[in-house]
A and B are shown apart, each in its own frame.
Chain A
Amino acid sequence: MKERANMTSLIECRNIVHDYGKKRALNDVSFNIEPGRITGLFGKNGAGKTTMINIFMGFLRPTSGSCRILDEPSHSLTPKNRSRIGLLQEGFIQYDFMTPKELEQYFSAFYSQWNTGIFFELIGRTKIPEKKKLSQLSNGQRSQVVLGLIMAQIPELMILDDYSMGIDVCYRRLFIEFLREYIDEYRTTVLLTSHIVQELENSIDDMIVLKDGEVIASLPKNEFTSSFRCYQLNNRSSIADTLVAEGTVSSVTHTKKNTRLYGFIDKNTLKNHLEIKGIGTVAIEAIPLDFEDAFVGLTGKY
C-alpha cells in the first residue's frame, strides 16, 4: 500500500461563482475534497458538475471566488502539479489518432511514476488490440484505454468526469472493481461524477450534490443514507398540495393518491411542520429509500 504524505484538502473551493454571460452556472459553491477519500460529485444535467471540473483544471476561471488544487490556484497550475492529477474528461476524450501502444509511449514520458504494467493489465483484461487507433475501438474499449492511461500515472488526485458515459454495465463493473483495487494499493484521492449513482453507493466515501449551480448537500455518504428520509402522506388533499420544498424538506412530489416529502427530517419534526401548515391529522408513513431513490428525492424530479 502506498503511503501518502499528510496533507490538507487536495481541493478547496470557496464561494465560487461562475456566469456564462447572463446565465449563472455556479452560485457560491464551497467545499473541500479530503485526501484518501472517494468523493462523488452528483447533480442532474446542467447542475454545474463539468463547469466545476473545468475550473479545477484551469480551463475556466470563475467569475469570483477561489479554487485551489494541491495548494495552488486552479487557474495557474504548474506542470509539476498537473503531473499529480489524473484527469478523465467527459466522453473519454483522448488522442484518437494514436493507438493504445502509441498513447502509452507518449504519456509515459511525462509522468515520473509511470507504471506501464498497470496500463497493459487493464487493457489486457478486455483484450484490446494495441495497434489499432483509438478511433477504431468501441466505446468500452476506448474507456479502458483512457482509464488505463490515467491509472498508469499513479496520480495523487484522480478526477473522473462521468466515467460511465456511453459504456455498458460490464465495462462499468470492471472499472469499479479495478478502481477499488487501485485505490486500496495507491491511496489515490478520487473525485468522480456519474449519472448512474446506484453503482457508486458502495464505492464512494463522500458526496457533493449540486442543483442549479448550488451545493445542496456535502456530507459523507453514510451520513446521507442514514439521515435522508422519505415520508408519504396517504390520501392526497388540497392542503397537502400546498406543501413545497423548504427548510429541511428537500422536495415534495404528488401522485394521484398521496404526497411524498423528502428531506433531512425525522418523523416528529415532520409532524410539527405539517401541523404548522394545517395538516395535523394525516397519517404519515416512512418509505424506505435506496441510494438512487434518495438522490432523486434530494434533487427532485424534472
Chain B
Amino acid sequence: MPPTENKTNLIVRQQLPALLRKEWIKLRAGIWILPLLLIYAAGESYINLQSMLRIYGTYGLWEVIVFKQPLFFDAYRIVVVCGIVIGFLQILPESRNKRLRVLFHTPLRPEILVSHMIITGLLLLILVSLVGYLLLIAVLNLFFFPQEIILPVLLTLLPWNLLGIAAYLLTLSFFFASNLPTKLLVLAVFFSLSSLLLPASFYGQFNPSLWHYASLTVSCLFVVFFTSLSFLHKPVHLPLFSLSRTATCVLAAVILSTTLPNLYWKTFLPPAPSQKMHFSPVLQEFVYSTSDRISGKEPGYFKEDNSSLTRKEFQSNLPFLYWRNLEKWGIFPTHIHGTGITPEQARSGWQYLWLSSDHVNSSPPMLHVLFETNPEDARLQKPGDFFRFNNSTERIEFLSPLNGNVNEKKSNLFTRALKESGFRFPVTALGGNPDARKEYDAGYFLIDSNGSLFRMQMIDSMPSVSNTGNHLNENVIGIVIREHHRKEFYGFIVSENSLYAIEQPHSTLKRLPLDTFRPEAFALAFWSDMLHTSLVIRPPGRELKPLHGMALNGDFTIKHEFTKAPDKQYEQAILQRASVASFLFPIQIEKNKTGSSFMNPVAVYAENIPAAMTSIILCLIIYLAFRISRRSPVLISDIIIVSIFGLPALATITVIDF
C-alpha cells in the first residue's frame, strides 16, 4: 500500500482518540462535581429514611413507605443538574467567543463532530445515573427493604433520569443555537419537559408512559443536530439536517400541545358549581343542592321537579345525614314510611363510600398487612410483619421489617392453608384494608387463577381461608375493602365490565346496575342506610356531566332513577372555552387519562372541530405566505405538521426558521 494511504488510515484511527481526548480535557475541569451531587442525593435519602425510622419505628417506616409512598429520595432530581453540568462542561468552552468556528472547521463531517461530543456526554451521564442507582440500592438495603419496595422506587427515578438526558441534550442545543428565538424555544421545551417529568405523587407513576417520554428524550438528540448544523447556515444538502429540523418541529409541537392546553385550562377553567345529590327516604325521590364556591352565596336546594326547598326543608328530607340538626331543631321524624327511627339509629345507621377509577387505576400496594381478626385487645393491633404473594414459587410470604427476612413458618402455614382451600396460584387480584383504626378486620379477598373469590383471615394466629363460592368470568381490575360498623358490605370488586358489592356475612356478590360501566373512568357515591341503598354517578372529567341517581331495592334492582342535567351556565362557559381551546390547540395532549392517577399521555382531538379546522387553515395560509415572502421552499413535512398541530406547530416553525 502506498505510504500516503497508510497514513490516511492512521489518521482516521487517530481522530477518534483525539476527539475523546479533547472531551476529557473539557470534562476534567468540573467532573468532580458529579460524585459530590450523587453523594448528596444518596446522603439526603438516607437521612430522610433515618428520620422516618426515628419517628415511626421499624414497622411504621415500612408502613409509611408502602402505603404513603413518600418521595424520601427526591434529592435524586439532582440528576437533572448533572445533565446540565456535563452539557456546560462540554459546550461552553466550544461556544464562547465564536469558538464554534474552530469546531466546524475541523476536517470531519459536522455530524460526526457533534456525535462524538454527544456520545461522550451521554455515556458519562448514564454512568452517573447507574452509580446513583447503586448508591440508592445500598441505602435501601440498609433498611432491609425488599425488592417489592426497591423496584418501584428505582422506577420512580427513571423519569428524572430521562429528564437529565434531555437537560444535557438541550444544554448543548442552547449553546449551539445561534439566535435568541431558537434559544428561547429550547428553554421552553426544557421547562415544559421539566413540568411534565419532575412531579411525582407515588412510586411508578410514570410506568405506563416511560416509552412515551423516552421517545421525547431521544428526540432531543435531533434538536442538538438541528441547532449545531444550523450554525453552518442550514445545510439542506445534509440529510440529517432536514430530518433533525422535522424532528425538532414535531418535538416542540408535541411538548407545546401538552403544556399549553394544560396551562390554558388551569387559567381559564370556570369555577364549577358544587352539586350534591342524595336520595330522600322521606320524599322517596332525589333532592339536590348547588352552590357557588366563589361567590359564597347561600346554596340552592331543589327537588327533582326543580322546585326549591329551604335549607331546613332540604335537611329534614335527609334525616340520616342531618340527624344532629333535626334533633336540635326538634323536628327529627319518629317514623319514615312506617319504619320507626331514632337519632341514634340515624347516627350509626348509614354507610357512605366514594368509589372512583382512581382507587383501581393507581399504584397497587407493594406489600400487604394481615391483621389478627380476633385480637386480644379491644382495638386491632398492627401485626409487625407484611406479606406478599410470590407467584413464581406459589407462596405467600411474611416479611419482617426488622431484618427483611421471610418468616418461613408462618409463610408455609398460610401457603398450605391457601392450597388446601383450593386456591390456585397465581393471585390475579387482591384487596384488603391496611388501616389499623378500623373497627374490625374482614381480612383479604383474593381472586385466584381460575377467577374464584377467596377470603383469607388470620384468626388466633392461624390461617382461615375459604372459597366464597363466587366465580368471576371477567378480569378483575381491583378489590376495595372498607370495613364498616353496619357490617352490610365488606367492599367492592371492580371488573372490566361490572362493579360488585361484597355483601356480608357470606361474601355474596351483588352486581350494581350500571349499564355502561367503564372501570377506567368512573366515579360514584355509594350510600346505604337502614331504609335504602342509592348510587349517585358522576363520570370524571373537566366538563360537568349529568348527575345520575339510582335508588336500589334490596336485590340491587332499580327502584327509582333521576338525572340532574349540568348547570346550563357552566356548560355554556365550558363550551365557549373549549371552542377557544380547539382553535388554539387542535390537538391537546393530556398528561393522564381521565380517571387515572398514572401519567399516561393521551392525545385528544379538539372538541369543536370547525374551530380547529378554521385554525389549521389559517395557519397553513400564514405558513405559505411566510415562506413565499421569504422566497423559501414550502416543505411537505411542515404542511403535515401544521395540519396536525396547528398554532403550536406554526409558532415552532416560525421560530426555527427565524
Contacts and interface: CB of A to CB of B under 8 A. Distances in A.
Given A59-B232, A61-B234, A109-B15, A93 B107 contact: no
Contacts of B2: none
7 contacts: A57-B105, A93-B97, A93-B101, A96-B93, A97-B93, A109-B11, A112-B11
Interface stretch (A1-9, A82-90, A247-255): A82-90
Interface of A: 57-61, 75-76, 79-80, 82-83, 85, 87, 89, 91, 93-98, 102, 105-106, 108-112
Interface stretch (B16-24, B420-428, B537-545): B16-24
B29 interface: yes
Contact of B232 (A75, A80, A89): A75
Given A58-B233, A106-B22, A93 B98 contact: yes
Interface string B6-31: 01100100110110011001100100
Contacts of A75: 232-233, 235
A87 B99 contact: no
A57 B101 contact: yes
B4 interface: yes
Given A85-B105, A93-B99, 10 more contacts: A59-B231, A82-B107, A89-B101, A95-B99, A97-B25, A106-B21, A106-B22, A108-B14, A110-B11, A110-B18
A145 to B, nearest CB: 13
B104 interface: yes
Contacts of B17: 109
Interface in B189-227: none
Q: What 6 A-B pairs have minimum CB-CB distances, sorted nearest first?
A: A109-B18, A83-B107, A109-B14, A82-B107, A61-B233, A79-B107
Contacts, number: 79
Given A61-B234, A76-B237, A97-B25, A110 B106 contact: yes
Contact of B107 (A58, A59, A89, A111): A111
A87 B25 contact: no
Contacts of B231: 59
B104 to A, nearest CB: 7
A91 B93 CA distance: 16
B54 interface: no
B102 A59 contact: no
B107 A60 contact: no
B21 A105 contact: yes
Nearest to A89: B101
Contact of B102 (A61, A80, A95): A95
B109 interface: yes
A102 B23 CA distance: 12
Interface in B28-48: 29
Given A59-B232, A75-B235, A106-B18, A82 B106 contact: yes
Contacts of A59: 101, 104, 231-233
Contacts of A79: 107-109
A151 to B, nearest CB: 15
A154 B234 CA distance: 30
B25 A98 contact: yes
Given A61-B234, A95-B22, A97-B29, A110 B108 contact: yes
A157 B337 CA distance: 106
B110 to A, nearest CB: 9
A82 B108 CA distance: 8
Nearest to B231: A59
Nearest to A61: B233
A296 B7 CA distance: 49
Nearest to B237: A76
Nearest to B14: A109
Contacts of A95: 22, 93-94, 99, 102
A134 to B, nearest CB: 11
A94 B93 CA distance: 10
A158 B173 CA distance: 31
B633 to A, nearest CB: 14
B233 A80 contact: no
